[in-house]
Each structure stands twice: as C-alpha cells, then as structure tokens.
Amino acid sequence: MAVKRDLENVILAKLIPVIILSILMTGCGERNKQSTDTLITVDVTAHYPEKELILQEFLDVEYVPLETNDEFITQGHVLAIGNQYILVKNSINDGDIFIFDRKTGKGLRKINRKGQGGEEYNFISGIALDEDNSEIFVNSTGKKILVYDLSGNFKRSLAYPKDASYSDIFNYDNDNLICYNASGIYRRKGEDRDGQSYHLVISKQDGSITRNIHVPFEIFKSPMMREGDAIIATRISPIVPYHDNWLLVEISSDTVHNWLSEENTLTPFLVKTPTTDPEIFLTMGTITDRYCFMKTTKMEVDLSKGRGFPSTDLMYDKQENTIFNATVLNGDYLKKQELNMTSFPINDKIAAFQTLAASEIVDAYENEELKGKLKEIAANLDEEDNPVIMLMKYKK
C-alpha cells in the first residue's frame, strides 16, 4: 500500500537548500522534563545512514474500521480522536462531521451545520474535541469558533481577536483551548516582529485570551509565496501534543520549544542554526522514549517537469546518539509498507495515526500479504467500505 503523503505540504520556490539543525534531544520521551546536556548538529545536505524500523516494536497499534452504511459514507479525513469518539469529515467542503465510536468504529451520528448564519460554519479548518464537557469546537474560516454539543446543537461562538486567524486549535484543559494565530506569517514576511504572541491559550466560554505564550523570534518568515496569480503555502504544524506538554513550532523562530503547561514555562527542545534564503522548513513528528521523528521540506520546484518540494524523513535515535534517514514499516504487512511518522498531531495519548483505504487493505488481503489483527479486519471488509483508522499509541 502506498503511503499517503500530506498534499498540503507543498510550496513553490526557486531555492537551493543549505541548513544545519542543532537538536537538544536528551530526554525526548520523558514527561514534564527537558534535558539540554546533549547537543546534536545535523547537516541535512549530508547523506545519513538509512535505518528501517518496525512500528510495533516501539509503539502499540490499534485498528478502528469505520462502520459503513447509507448514512455513514466518508473519505475519513480525521479531525479529532478522543477516548470515546473519532470525528472525521470528507475532503470536500460538504459540512458533514461524522462521529464514530472510538472502540468499535460504529457510526453514532452525523452533524452538518454548514451555512452563513450566526450558528453555522462555512468551512471546517479544524476541530477540538472536549469529551469531558461533551462539546466540539469547530474552527471556521468566518473568524470564529463554533461550539456545539455532541448532537450538533449550537451552544455559543467564540470570536477571533482583532486581525487574528487561527490555523490550529487543540483542547488544552477543562476551561481553555490552545491555538495558533497564523496572521503574522501570511502578511508580514521579512518584517520585524511586533509585540504579539502567536501561540495563545483562550477561554472556552468567550474566546478571550487567558495566556499569551511568547515564542521569541525577530523577523517574520513565511511558508507562503506567490507564483503568478496563485498563492501556495506549505503546512507546518505549529502545535504538537507532547505527552502532558506541548511542542510549539514557530515558523519565524530557529527553536522548537517545549511548553510545560503545569510549570507554565517554555524551554528549548530543538534548535536549528539561523538560515536565510534558501529556507528549509521543519515539521515535527512522532516522539517516543527513544526516537524523535521529523521531516524537512525543500522549497524547490522544477516547473518544466512538474516536480518539486522534496522532503527528507529524519529520525534522532537517543540510544545510539545518531541521526538516520528513517523508514518505519507496518509489521502487520508481509511486504514492506511504509508509514508516515509526521502526520498531523492528535493528542497526548496517540503518537500518530494513518488512514488506510479499504480497497487497498482488501487487495493486500487477497494477495495474502496481511497478518495479525489487520488480517482479521480485512476478512470482513469490502473494497467500497469506509477506511480503517490506524492508531499508533505510546506503549504503557
């Protein structure tokens, strides 16, 4: 099965990349703690040794086949995963939000509040799920977050602060969300930094800012550029759940920080040496007790061949104190099936996820290429069924 790469991670530029990453990685998988006694320098233009890993050797795997019936037909774009529910939508902007049972994959309900009214969203750019309060927070491009109960009943809306544009929202605690205001990186490339904070904690009740998290940088960088009349941007996750804490990625900063929520402190987690044109953007991926995955995206394209934006999957192995060009394989396939270890973050219990198309699973089953739990699921799967969600969980 071919690995599905994130198609949003695309940007046009005529650049030749040179970058050095310095990573403060000791204690990658420890909770509420960041050690800085080991400095690792990585030249991403170098050729690093390749290393293959079997996923099941360092993460637990759970498969959730999403129920298929006339009401529940979805392309399986995962929005949120909790202890009880999985929320997905279609790739097209039809407004449907499907709620499935987290353990069984049974379809529970479908919500659609798309529209132009005050209680409706016009586009779903993200969802935060709060199971404790039985609420979902829909981030809409209409400069607000719409709050509904799990039956789709409107409860309230949270207006964005003036000139803000939230690209990401996550459930932070019982009373707050954590968000990233992306307005600066899309409007102010090359300008001096203002006094604003762009990582914010906001109230779930009225959207007011309850905490500014000031990630230091001096000059605005942007993952966006113009090519003729087109505007194209690469997708870099600015907030990554990291056990009980949060990794904060700021495009304009050379440092990835670890936000220790309980201690209310910001500490360096990853540092790269300053670079000017050309830039290579960094995506943080799955982090375990031993491994730290990341991906670099080269801002380079050959328009004549229709090719561009090559990326490199890197992994720091804490035990070996070495950087590898890493390939992670799903051990439930008899043939090599590569996994994406830098998919969008979900929460502090699930390190990563992947959406597996039913047709591809069925094809692998018929060719006797599966084993274990995935083989059992495939035996009862139809090629036109909803996808299977593969959850990669931290080992207990």
| Model confidence at 171: pLDDT above 50 | yes
pLDDT mean over 123-138: 96
What pLDDT shows up at residue 140?
Answer: 92
What's the first-to-final CA gap in the chain, in angstroms? 29
| Model confidence at 22: pLDDT above 60 | no
Residue 45 token pair:
């233009």
CA 257 from centroid of its chain's CA atoms: 16
Give me the chain's average pLDDT, please.
Answer: 85
Q: What is the pLDDT of residues 29-42, one digit of tens each?
A: 443 343 434 555 66
List, in order, residues 6 or more apart from 121 with CB less than 8 Å away.
95, 113, 114, 115, 138, 140, 142, 146
What pLDDT shows up at residue 236?
Answer: 85
Of residues 44 and 194, the one with the higher pLDDT is 194
Residue 260 token pair:
């220790």
What pLDDT shows up at residue 41?
Answer: 61
Of residues 356 and 298, the one with the higher pLDDT is 356
3-state secondary structure of 360: helix
Residue 225 token pair:
């550029």
- Nearest to 111, CA basis, from 142, 144, 79, 65: 79
- Give me the amino acid identity at 24: L
8 A C-beta contact, residue 166 and residue 179: yes
What pLDDT shows up at residue 304?
Answer: 66
Of residues 11 and 367, the one with the higher pLDDT is 367
- Give me the amino acid identity at 37: D
* Distance between CA atoms of residues 373 and 250, nearest Å: 39
| Model confidence at 137: pLDDT above 60 | yes
pLDDT band at 173 (very low <50, low <70, confident <90, very high): very high
**Long-range contacts, 3-7 (Cβ 8 Å, 24+):** 3/337, 3/338, 3/339, 3/340, 4/340, 4/354, 4/355, 5/340, 6/235, 6/340, 6/342, 6/343, 6/344
Give the DSSP H/E element, type plus range, for residue 186.
helix 183-187
8 A C-beta contact, residue 105 and residue 381: no
pLDDT mean over 159-178: 93
What pLDDT shows up at residue 321?
Answer: 86
Of residues 60 and 9, the one with the higher pLDDT is 60
Give the DSSP H/E element, type plus range, for residue 342.
none
* Distance between CA atoms of residues 91 and 108, nearest Å: 20
3-state secondary structure of 378: helix
8 A C-beta contact, residue 234 and residue 223: yes
- Give me the amino acid identity at 60: D
What pLDDT shows up at residue 111?
Answer: 96
Pairing of strands 255-260, 311-317: unpaired
Residue 391 token pair:
């959850």
Residue 390 token pair:
């593969």
For a pLDDT cut of 70, what percent of the chain falls above it?
85
CA 136 from centroid of its chain's CA atoms: 18
**For every residue of 25-40, which 3-state class applies, written as one string?**
CCCCCCCCCCCCCCEE
Task: Out of 224-228, 304-308, 349-353, 354-358, give the one with best mean pLDDT.
Answer: 354-358
pLDDT mean over 306-332: 88
**The 388-393 sheet, strands edge to edge:** 60-65, 388-393, 350-356
pLDDT band at 311 (very low <50, low <70, confident <90, very high): confident
pLDDT band at 12 (very low <50, low <70, confident <90, very high): very low
CB atoms under 10 Å from CB of 238, counted, come to 21
List, in order, residues 6 or more apart from 40 with CB less than 8 Å away.
22, 23, 24, 25, 316, 321, 323
CB atoms under 10 Å from CB of 86, counted, come to 25
| Model confidence at 53: pLDDT above 70 | yes
3-state secondary structure of 61: strand
Tell which CATH classification among 2.40.50, 2.10.25, 2.130.10, 2.50.20 matches the domain 20-393: 2.130.10
What pLDDT shows up at residue 87?
Answer: 97
Among 13-27, 312-326, 354-368, whose mean pLDDT is lowest? 13-27
8 A C-beta contact, residue 15 and residue 278: yes
Among 19-28, 289-298, 346-355, whose mean pLDDT is lowest? 19-28
Task: Out of 3-12, 112-121, 250-259, give the one with best mean pLDDT.
Answer: 112-121
pLDDT mean over 232-253: 86
